[in-house]
A and B are shown apart, each in its own frame.
Chain A
């Protein structure tokens, strides 16, 4: 579904991604690990179309379409979802209104009529239960006054609502205690199917105890320097990122 070839990107003139290659197929879970500053979050931002980043070289196709040519909102409507590392607060905008706008935009893109209010509220109820989101949160403004854990849970709730084909989870585990981590991970696992795929970006391997990856990639200085199965994550946990640096002869 997703094919990244020789992707280069920079921010404020500084090159962060220096030739990424990655192929993701439906049903797969890919973990991307790496030390701070290696370009993990940049990769997720570039895939989602954050205008702060400039792609200088390479290509990204999503189900045959040139993803880089699409606006951020069209990428979302095509089924690319980013769970933000730092979800943004939008004061005064209720979650209901926000999600209803989003869901209906997705439907419009597919040529469907907007959802009726009652159908929409029913959908919200179902998905809230699925990801164990507190009713109170769904009635508040988008992320306003949410704790770190609540924000992350809210991201997974939105993912459940939009049913993306590709989910990118950017450091979803950061700032979560073990209980919150378990709830978030179980939400992600429930949403997993043979038709969708995830890219899980994380610094630590503990999230991967809950969301089991099919592939683990190590990102370092803007390149994927090592790819293997799940065991790579455990090895990294044990040996640390210095081991990678040594392997690269640094």
Chain B
């Protein structure tokens, strides 16, 4: 019977699967030094950045794709990908009049209006399509406080010293295969700098959209919070429905100085592929925060519902004494999706604390793994960690796995790990049915209840979206 209930539901349509018909500036397929030079030239970059890219590219050539994750990754032909695609319109437009109306329409359709007056108050947006940033809103208002919020490309031009100082400090170009690839060919992303003592008065957010065919998206985000500052940052992403898979390999670097706090929230909804596992985004992302200053704090909150393959471990390096790292995650996999995601908490400073809450939800024939490392170095006296990893299964053809690693070199550390695995049972669904609630709504309720602890960490506007997304992603997973 569980078969019946659990087999029928899974076919919710992907709402964001449309394609924008727009002229695109695209460079030849494939990857070599000339391509790297061409990308750098297209973006009008300074010599030092080109050198950085080339160094990364040469290193990448020596690397092999990692195979340790619990993922079945089809071979990726890196020469069969376009590494740069940009909608043909003026880069860094001064006003909305200069933005192609098709682009505005696209983001409107995604629920991200770029006219400031139409936006949710209290949120500034950087909209990125394929390889370039389309428009950043509220830039001027934020500048009055000394806050820099712009596309990465603009930052390279306007704030070269800041970029030079922090680029690659959290994620060095030789960190891993995908980090090296990104460092060689990265396109656009957001740059944020919060000056000393400033509390950023609005949520900053970047919306990433892949549009062009056979194109990889390699965005790069860098957020620096100076002493005693605070910022909350949101990231959202979608892509059109396409039969062939597309590669997304991003880097996000966060740096928090003394007593600074960064809240980074992601709602990842890249196209997951169809119900037979055809198409979908391959999502290989390196996200890392340096809690550099004393009493600095970084929290990662992620709701992962999209992508055919997800390989992602937002981490915190707790360098400063009394610094705090947090990771709250909900990862949903359905149909043939695969996710291997988790975090690394590296305790180096004294009295550092970390908190991990991971909620995996698997349905269909998907595979969902939590992989987490808690490392306490020799001098990290008084380190504390608490990890909780829960898995929820819908049906009996999916898999949930937990791979916790601990590497403790200091006797004073207190490290705790709790894990549970549960199934949505038919009794719960029938109970909801008996009160007049349909199967799909019942699954939505139950899953949202299960993920509540994480959803509560999201900023309000986002939490509502995320709740809906969770229900939609599992539509069709229960009959």
Contacts and interface: CB of A to CB of B under 8 A. Distances in A.
Interface of A: 48-52, 71-73, 75-77, 81-82, 84, 87-93, 97-99, 101-102, 105-106, 109, 141, 158, 162
Contacts of B431: 84, 87-88, 90
A243 B3 CA distance: 43
8 contacts: A49-B434, A72-B430, A73-B437, A84-B431, A92-B448, A92-B453, A101-B441, A158-B435
B436 A76 contact: yes
A99 B435 CA distance: 8
Contacts of A109: 436
B449 A73 contact: no
Contacts of A73: 433-434, 436-439
B166 interface: no
B4 interface: yes
Contacts of B437: 73, 101-102, 105
Given A88-B430, A101-B437, A105-B437, 15 more contacts: A51-B4, A73-B433, A73-B438, A75-B434, A76-B433, A81-B434, A82-B434, A84-B434, A88-B428, A89-B428, A90-B445, A101-B445, A102-B435, A109-B436, A141-B449
Nearest to B446: A90
Given A51-B5, A93-B448, A97-B445, A162 B428 contact: no
A87 B435 CA distance: 12
B450 interface: yes
Contacts of B105: none
A97 to B, nearest CB: 7
A231 B446 CA distance: 45
Q: Which secondary structure characterizes the binding site on chain B? A: helix
In the A-B complex, list the 6 residue pairs whose CB atoms are closest, starting with the nearest. Answer: A92-B449, A93-B449, A72-B433, A76-B436, A102-B435, A88-B431
Contacts of B45: none
B436 A92 contact: no
Given A101-B441, A105-B441, A141-B449, A90 B433 contact: no
Contacts of B423: none
Interface string B441-466: 10001101111110000000000000
B1 interface: yes
A102 B436 contact: yes
| Most chain A C-beta atoms within 10 Å of own C-beta, residue among B426, B431, B434, B446 | B434
Contacts of A81: 434
Interface centre among A76, A91, A99, A101 (most CB of B within 10 A): A101
Contacts of B439: 73
Nearest to B430: A50
A101 B431 CA distance: 13
A51 B4 CA distance: 9
A106 B433 contact: no
B434 A76 contact: yes
B212 to A, nearest CB: 40
A51 B1 contact: yes
B435 A162 contact: yes
B427 interface: yes
Contacts of B441: 101, 105
B425 to A, nearest CB: 8
Contacts of A71: 433, 438
B434 A92 contact: no
Contact of B1 (A49, A52, A97): A52
Contacts of A50: 430
Contacts of A72: 430, 433-434
A237 B5 CA distance: 41
A98 B1 CA distance: 25
B436 A77 contact: yes
A206 B347 CA distance: 63
Nearest to A102: B435
B408 to A, nearest CB: 31
Contacts of B446: 90, 93
A105 B438 contact: yes
B449 A88 contact: no
B4 to A, nearest CB: 7
A106 B436 contact: yes
Contacts of A99: 435
A50 B377 CA distance: 55
A99 B431 CA distance: 12
Contacts of A162: 435-436
A98 B430 contact: no
Nearest to A84: B431
Contacts of B435: 76, 98-99, 102, 105, 158, 162
B450 A91 contact: yes
Nearest to A92: B449
Nearest to B444: A101
A71 B452 CA distance: 29
A247 to B, nearest CB: 35
A235 to B, nearest CB: 33
Contacts of A75: 434
A109 B450 CA distance: 28
Contacts of B436: 73, 76-77, 102, 105-106, 109, 162
Nearest to A94: B449
Interface string B1-31: 1001100000000000000000000000000
Contacts of B450: 91-92
Interface string B411-430: 00000000000000011101
B449 A90 contact: yes
Nearest to A143: B431
A102 B438 CA distance: 9
